[in-house]
Amino acid sequence: MSAAERKHEFVDSLRRRQIIDGLSLGKRTDGRGLTDYRELKMEIGAIVKANGSAMVHLGNTIVLVGVKVNLGTPFPDTPDEGILTVNADVLPIASPYEEPGPPDEDTIELARVVDRGIRESHMIDMSKLAIQPGKKVYSVFIDVTVLDVDGNLFDAVSYAAVAALMTTRFKKAVVKGDEVIQSDKMMEMPVKTIPVSITTAKIGSHTILDPDGIEEAVMDARLTTTFDSANRLCATQKGGEGWFTPEEILRQMDIARVKAKEIRSVIKEAVKNAKKS
C-alpha cells in the first residue's frame, strides 16, 4: 500500500526558510539560478560487458545504466516489435534511507517514468528489433543502478539510459532455416529521436529546475516532462503531495522545452565523443 515515507534528510525549519528566502532573490543554496542545472557529466561505455552503458553525474547524484540485448519472444499484441524493459535499483549505499530488498514505490515510479520517456517518444524503432515476426525479436533490458542520491533521479537516469541506448551495439541475429542465430556482425540500436527529461520542482511560489536532495526534501510538488528531438512533449509525470495551477504547468513546460534543447546537445556531444574513441 502506498504511504508517504520520508526518504530524505530531515530539514530543519531554519533551513527551509533560508531556501525560500534565497529563491525570492533568485538564488539557490548552491549558488545556482532558478533554471540552472547542476554540472552534467557523462561517461559512456565504461561497462564493456554490457551492450551499452553510461554513468551520469548530475551534481552529486550518480547513476549507472547498462543495456543488454537478448533474444526473446514478442508479446502477442505486438508480434512485429522488439521488447523494451526498464528496471531500476537504488542501492543501499546510495542513501541512508535505502535498504536492501525489492524496489519500493519510488523506485518503481522512477523506472516507469524513464521507460515512458523512451517508449512514448518512440526513441527506438521497435519494428527494426523484430527478427522473425511473432517468433523472435530483440529484447532490450535497460537496467538502472543508482549509486548516490542527491535529487533529480528522474533526469539523471533518463540521460544515462538515453546515452547508453545511443551507443548500444549488439550482435545481429539472422534467420537460418527454422533457427535464429547470432551472427558476428554488430548492429546499432535503431534510434529515431533523442528524448530529454526535464524536471521542475515547486517550492512555495517558486519554480526551479533540477532539484537537488535538499530541495526535493522541501518541495511541494514535482513535474517531469520529456521532449523529443522535434520538441514535442512525450511524457509527463506530476509527483509530490502538492499541486500546480494550470498556469504554473504551462509556464513550467515552456521553460522545460527550452532547457531540453540545451541538454540534448550535451548528450549528443558526449555520445559523439564516445563513438570517436
Q: Which residues in this chain contact another protein in the complex, by CB under 8 A?
A: 1-5, 77, 105-106, 108-109, 111-112, 116, 119-122, 223, 228, 230-246, 249-250, 253, 257
Radius of gyration of the chain (CA): 20
CB of 242 to another protein, least distance (A): 6
Sort 79 into a burial class: Cβ within 10 Å, 0-12 / 13-18 / 19+: middle
In the complex with another protein, the residue whose CB is nearer, 194 or 270, is: 194
CB of 187 to another protein, least distance (A): 26
CB of 140 to another protein, least distance (A): 17
In the complex with another protein, the residue whose CB is nearer, 48 or 230, is: 230
For 218, list phi and psi in degrees, rounded to 5. Answer: -110, 0
Element holding 13 (H helix, E strand):
helix 13-24
In the complex with another protein, the residue whose CB is nearer, 6 or 49, is: 6
In the complex with another protein, the residue whose CB is nearer, 168 or 224, is: 224
Burial 103-141 (b: 16+ CB within 10 A, else e): eeeebebbbebbbbbbbebebbebeebbbbeeebbbbbb
In the complex with another protein, the residue whose CB is nearer, 167 or 197, is: 197
CB of 80 to another protein, least distance (A): 13
Q: Residue 271 CB: number of other CB atoms within 10 A?
A: 22
In the complex with another protein, the residue whose CB is nearer, 2 or 277, is: 2
SS3 at position 241: coil
Whether residue 200 contacts residue 256, with contact meaning beta carbons closer than 8 Å, is answered with yes
What whole-number distance in Å separates Cα of residue 62 and Cα of residue 234? Answer: 25
| Cα distances (Å, whole numbers) of residue 234 to 8, 104, 167 | 29, 25, 22
What whole-number distance in Å separates Cα of residue 49 and Cα of residue 218? Answer: 40
CB of 115 to another protein, least distance (A): 9
CB of 220 to another protein, least distance (A): 9
In the complex with another protein, the residue whose CB is nearer, 119 or 169, is: 119
